[in-house]
Chains A and B, each alone.
Chain A
Amino acid sequence: MPDHPPQLLEVTDSGLYCAAGDFYVDPWRRVERAVITHAHADHARSGCGRYLCAAPGKTVLRTRMGGNATIDAVRYGEPVTINGATVSLHPAGHVLGSAQVRIEHRGETWVVSGDYKLQADPTCAAFEPVPCDVFITESTFGLPVSHWPDPAQVAAEINAWWRTNRDAGRTSVILAYALGKAQRLAAMLDPEIGPIVAHGAVMKLVEAYRASGVRLPSIDRVPPRARRVGDGRALVIAPPSVLGGSWLKLFGESSLAVASGWMTVRGVRRRRGVEKGFVVSDHADFPGLLAAVEASRARRVLVTHGFADVLARFLREQKGLDAAPLATRFTGEVPPDAAAAEDHEDDESPP
């Protein structure tokens, strides 16, 4: 990587650090001051002195960080000064309240994308490109095999699958991250088909979304210690961690699906033995990543988690950009089997 002194942001043991403002963006250790792009566990750690997030995401972050956390919220686009740096948050389109962090100091502007998608999502504000000098982008799906189908078409596929299962008396179970994906899925469903029920971990966030003013269809919680649930008509939304456990047995005969960007790849679906994969991702696909990079008009691009080396090399060699990978500890959307194996992310109830 060529030398670009001074760095507005640098990777330290605790995370991405802004010396000019003395704060961290999505730190992976407890720090005094944290600016949070979104509330997923690989981006928001509990125990920091003070959090700053976008206003629509405050309730969700509160659910995750606990009642005692000090959380400041700002409207999208509203600049605040932290020590010497001007900071503003801009919609990233990833989950409710997700933000790109824009940092300006002495005429230089950096944007940290966090996780983002360009697709429309009724449960959160749409991604807005933010011009900058240096753009730090994610690359979870930074391979050209990733290009997402039209969400309306996927919604039709999901509802058709649910209807078929219902007619056969089989419960439909979809595995999806508890924060974001689950609510987006719920918004894609046609409640006329049957009842929608959700795992407790999902419900907690459904309630946080509702409290933040997001309209979702009626969803029932799977009662604790239930012996049997439903009569084969329901659609169940559950986090990937239920795979392999006994919880799924509550529903008797069921058809299991996973909603994930990884479902474009047949091998990932087959490895886990799920019957159905729906391509629903809250991350940008390959064309989306390229579009976001271009829209940022950045002279320099730093690529984090996912296929950082691949995307950086592509941007360098094919687009003539000054691009390099940046080592962080973000994980993005992990394949569903790995999610179950590693008790990733939303598998555990928040503290």
Chain B
Amino acid sequence: MKQFTDLYWRLDATTRTQEKLAALVAYFTAAAPADAACAVGVLCGARQLRAVSTTLLRQWVAEETGLPEWLVEDAYAHVGDLAETLALLLPDTAGDDGDVRPGLAETVATTIHAIRDADEGRKREVVTATWRQLAPRERIVWHKLLTGGLRVGVSRTLVARALAEVAGVEPAVMTHRLMGVAGGPLDAAGFTRLLAPETAADDRRPYPFFLASAVDQTDPVAVAAELGPIEAWQAEWKWDGMRAQIVRRGDDATLWSRGEELVNDAFPEIVAAAAQLPSGTVLDGELLAVGRGGSAGGLSLLGFAALSKRAGRRTVPKKILTEIPAVFVAYDLVEHGGIDLRPQPLCDRRAVLETVVPDCFGAALTAPPAEAVLFRSPLVAADSWALLAARRAESRGRGVEGLMLKRRSSPYGTGRTRGDWWKWKIEPLEIDAVLLYAQAGHGRRAGLHSDYTLGVWDGDRLVTIAKAYSGLADAEIVEIDRIVRATTLERHGPVRICEPTLVMQLAFEGVAASTRHKSGVAVRFPRIVRWRREKTPAEAGTLADLRRMLAQFS
């Protein structure tokens, strides 16, 4: 228990990823397998069951300490964390023998699991006995385990990185091995298996994603001059979703985001469809959120904002599965029959892709039919750059971001190698917005107010529409920081509410209805283009402007 408590407080004490990683590595190296197994479950967010209600705990603490219940409540109101309040209220009776007390697994088994179904008297007996054994900092952690409320500030990806380091395997391999840990308990043997050496059979690694560069030109003549004859190029829509790879190997399918995060849990229907692919298949493509009621009974694209409601989830409730169904649009076949196809030209890979994944879009290149989950990205045909530019102009109406241009002869490269893959995005939308709140940045910009919340006019009041923090020069940020400090009206923790004086030109990719911003709209991928020093807040844009854009493009 002491080792895990130390880990908890080390993780709590820092916001630096490297230090968290070091703490995790140290813990997993030193802990007994049974304890480590239990910790993996807790850290990965395995479901914890409440063994004792917080009402009973409060009552018992009051009785143990002789404090009136109203004072326990007053203390809780001040501390803001029940586990911590109770731990602080109890007398510090435990000696400094933390090292000889039982480990995490035994503590959880004997003091939590064992009393889950016990009667109240038995529960109290065990709980009060445990209080006497634990130091206050241990009690906090134990209380949280007891009430099923332990949350630790680490991502599953970071836990996987730490375990990968301990085991000496690739992080992606560990991430794959950790799949399902959240579903059921892990035992000592299971933990030992987690740390086994890597074999060919457990390779679920995605390929490094090949990235496209941006075409700055709008004019088709200029694009033609830069890219040459159109015959050498394949055009597709640039989807407004989340880039991902399906890795179908061994006996399962895994779905990886560009950050090499395993997102199987968030997209069960895609994983189920991917499992039907032959083993030894890797698809590169895009996860898209779709809605029902599209044209001709098909699906309509919902855009990134809807998708992000699913993306981070560990479990997807039925309601969300039906309201925001997801599809996977495959645009490249990177591995086929277990063979790495990356060196082959795109046109050859595409030909094989067409035998592996169905084209559900049909000739009209409109929305896919309702039952489709996994299909290939249709090509956008055009005989000239001018015609292609005309197709590109349809983008916003279709809910896509523009076009992807890929050289037919291109291999599947690594990273962002310029020349073969281009994104030809549509021009961003823009509005002048007023700086309303500011928050200090991190890292290099620590202490400088560099993160801004911006708003537009709704009648005679300003409503927030976006948070943005890029696009300004360092000197401008320093200058704005001074103005923010001088015009602060109120402070809420790190956030300053400022007198509206500054106008920023804000660019964004689209507008969607939102419940998060007071304005009822959210802009997609907002960034500051420049500081409009010449404008006063009165000249900033309005909510009506945004609503017009929303109506026009959705």
Chain A interface (Cβ within 8 Å of chain B)? 143-145, 147, 244-246, 248-249, 264-267, 270-271, 273, 275-276, 307, 310, 313-314, 317-318, 337, 341
The interface residues of chain A lying within 8 Å CB-to-CB of B65 are 144
A143-B14 contact, Cβ under 8 Å, with A267-B81, A271-B493, A318-B68 = no
Query: Chain B nearest CB: distance from A244 CB in Å?
Result: 6
> B66, B67, B447, B493: which contacts A245 (Cβ < 8 A)?
B447
Separation of A317 and B491 alpha carbons in the complex (Å): 38
Q: Does B88 contact A (CB under 8 A)?
A: yes
Query: Chain A nearest CB: distance from B540 CB in Å?
Result: 28
> B12, B88, B440, B447: which contacts A264 (Cβ < 8 A)?
B88
Check A147 against B92 for contact (C-beta < 8 Å): yes
Query: Chain A nearest CB: distance from B24 CB in Å?
Result: 18
The interface residues of chain A lying within 8 Å CB-to-CB of B14 are 275
Check B68 against A314 for contact (C-beta < 8 Å): yes
Check A273 against B494 for contact (C-beta < 8 Å): yes
Check B78 against A145 for contact (C-beta < 8 Å): yes
Among A143, A147, A244, the one with the most B-chain Cβ atoms within 10 Å of its Cβ is A143
The interface residues of chain A lying within 8 Å CB-to-CB of B68 are 314, 317-318
A143-B493 contact, Cβ under 8 Å, with A244-B447, A246-B447, A275-B13 = no
> A145, A275, A314: which contacts B79 (Cβ < 8 A)?
A145
Separation of A167 and B277 alpha carbons in the complex (Å): 55
Separation of A313 and B67 alpha carbons in the complex (Å): 12
Residue of A nearest to B442 (CB): A273
Separation of A246 and B78 alpha carbons in the complex (Å): 31
Given contacts A144-B71, A245-B447, 15 further A-B contacts (CB under 8 A): A143-B75, A143-B78, A144-B89, A145-B75, A145-B85, A244-B447, A249-B447, A264-B88, A266-B81, A273-B494, A275-B13, A310-B71, A317-B68, A318-B66, A337-B493
The interface residues of chain A lying within 8 Å CB-to-CB of B140 are 266
Query: Chain A nearest CB: distance from B519 CB in Å?
Result: 28
Query: Chain A nearest CB: distance from B52 CB in Å?
Result: 21
Interface string of B157-194 (1 = CB under 8 A from A): 00000000000000000000000000000000000000
Check A145 against B13 for contact (C-beta < 8 Å): no
Query: Chain A nearest CB: distance from B439 CB in Å?
Result: 12
Q: Does B15 contact A (CB under 8 A)?
A: yes
Q: List 30 A-B contacts (CB under 8 A).
A: A143-B71, A143-B74, A143-B75, A144-B65, A144-B71, A144-B88, A144-B89, A145-B75, A145-B78, A145-B88, A147-B88, A244-B440, A245-B447, A248-B447, A265-B80, A265-B84, A266-B12, A266-B81, A266-B84, A266-B140, A267-B84, A270-B12, A271-B493, A273-B494, A276-B13, A310-B71, A313-B70, A314-B68, A318-B68, A341-B491
The interface residues of chain B lying within 8 Å CB-to-CB of A313 are 70
The interface residues of chain B lying within 8 Å CB-to-CB of A271 are 493
The interface residues of chain B lying within 8 Å CB-to-CB of A337 are 493
Query: Chain A nearest CB: distance from B91 CB in Å?
Result: 8
Separation of A249 and B444 alpha carbons in the complex (Å): 11
Separation of A265 and B83 alpha carbons in the complex (Å): 12
Check A265 against B78 for contact (C-beta < 8 Å): yes
Separation of A147 and B75 alpha carbons in the complex (Å): 13
Query: Chain A nearest CB: distance from B97 CB in Å?
Result: 16
Residue of A nearest to B485 (CB): A244
Check B71 against A314 for contact (C-beta < 8 Å): yes
Query: Chain A nearest CB: distance from B414 CB in Å?
Result: 34
The interface residues of chain A lying within 8 Å CB-to-CB of B89 are 144-145
Separation of A341 and B490 alpha carbons in the complex (Å): 10
Separation of A270 and B14 alpha carbons in the complex (Å): 10
Query: Chain B nearest CB: distance from A224 CB in Å?
Result: 20
User: What number of A-B contacts does a CB cutoff of 8 Å give?
Assistant: 56
Query: Chain A nearest CB: distance from B40 CB in Å?
Result: 24
Tally chain B residues at the interface, Cβ within 8 Å.
Answer: 27
Among A244, A266, A270, the one with the most B-chain Cβ atoms within 10 Å of its Cβ is A266
The interface residues of chain B lying within 8 Å CB-to-CB of A318 are 66, 68
Separation of A318 and B69 alpha carbons in the complex (Å): 12
> A144, A244, A275: which contacts B75 (Cβ < 8 A)?
A144
Interface string of B274-316 (1 = CB under 8 A from A): 0000000000000000000000000000000000000000000
The interface residues of chain A lying within 8 Å CB-to-CB of B493 are 271, 337
Query: Chain A nearest CB: distance from B342 CB in Å?
Result: 42
The interface residues of chain A lying within 8 Å CB-to-CB of B67 are 144
The interface residues of chain A lying within 8 Å CB-to-CB of B79 are 145, 265, 267
The interface residues of chain B lying within 8 Å CB-to-CB of A267 are 79-81, 84
Ranked nearest first, the 10 interchain pairs of A and B with the lowest CB-CB distance are A145-B88, A267-B80, A145-B75, A143-B75, A265-B79, A310-B74, A144-B89, A144-B67, A341-B491, A145-B79
The interface residues of chain A lying within 8 Å CB-to-CB of B75 are 143-145
Separation of A271 and B494 alpha carbons in the complex (Å): 8
Query: Chain A nearest CB: distance from B479 CB in Å?
Result: 14
Residue of A nearest to B493 (CB): A271
The interface residues of chain A lying within 8 Å CB-to-CB of B494 are 273
The interface residues of chain A lying within 8 Å CB-to-CB of B447 are 244-246, 248-249
Separation of A310 and B78 alpha carbons in the complex (Å): 12
Residue of B nearest to A243 (CB): B447
Query: Chain A nearest CB: distance from B14 CB in Å?
Result: 6
Residue of B nearest to A248 (CB): B447
Separation of A246 and B449 alpha carbons in the complex (Å): 12
Query: Chain B nearest CB: distance from A338 CB in Å?
Result: 10
The interface residues of chain B lying within 8 Å CB-to-CB of A244 are 440, 447
The interface residues of chain B lying within 8 Å CB-to-CB of A248 are 447
Separation of A238 and B111 alpha carbons in the complex (Å): 45
The interface residues of chain B lying within 8 Å CB-to-CB of A310 are 71, 74
Residue of A nearest to B66 (CB): A318
Separation of A266 and B153 alpha carbons in the complex (Å): 14
Interface string of B84-104 (1 = CB under 8 A from A): 110011001000000000000
Separation of A271 and B66 alpha carbons in the complex (Å): 31
> A245, A264, A266, A273: which contacts B15 (Cβ < 8 A)?
A273
The interface residues of chain B lying within 8 Å CB-to-CB of A276 are 13
- Residues of B400-435 at the interface with A, using a CB-CB cut-off of 8 Å, are none
Separation of A276 and B78 alpha carbons in the complex (Å): 20
Residue of A nearest to B446 (CB): A249
Separation of A144 and B140 alpha carbons in the complex (Å): 16
Query: Chain B nearest CB: distance from A317 CB in Å?
Result: 7
Query: Chain A nearest CB: distance from B544 CB in Å?
Result: 37
Among B66, B68, B75, the one with the most A-chain Cβ atoms within 10 Å of its Cβ is B75
Query: Chain B nearest CB: distance from A205 CB in Å?
Result: 26
Residue of A nearest to B16 (CB): A275
- Residues of B120-177 at the interface with A, using a CB-CB cut-off of 8 Å, are 140
Residue of A nearest to B447 (CB): A244
Query: Chain A nearest CB: distance from B364 CB in Å?
Result: 54
Separation of A143 and B12 alpha carbons in the complex (Å): 24
Separation of A264 and B75 alpha carbons in the complex (Å): 12
Separation of A144 and B440 alpha carbons in the complex (Å): 35
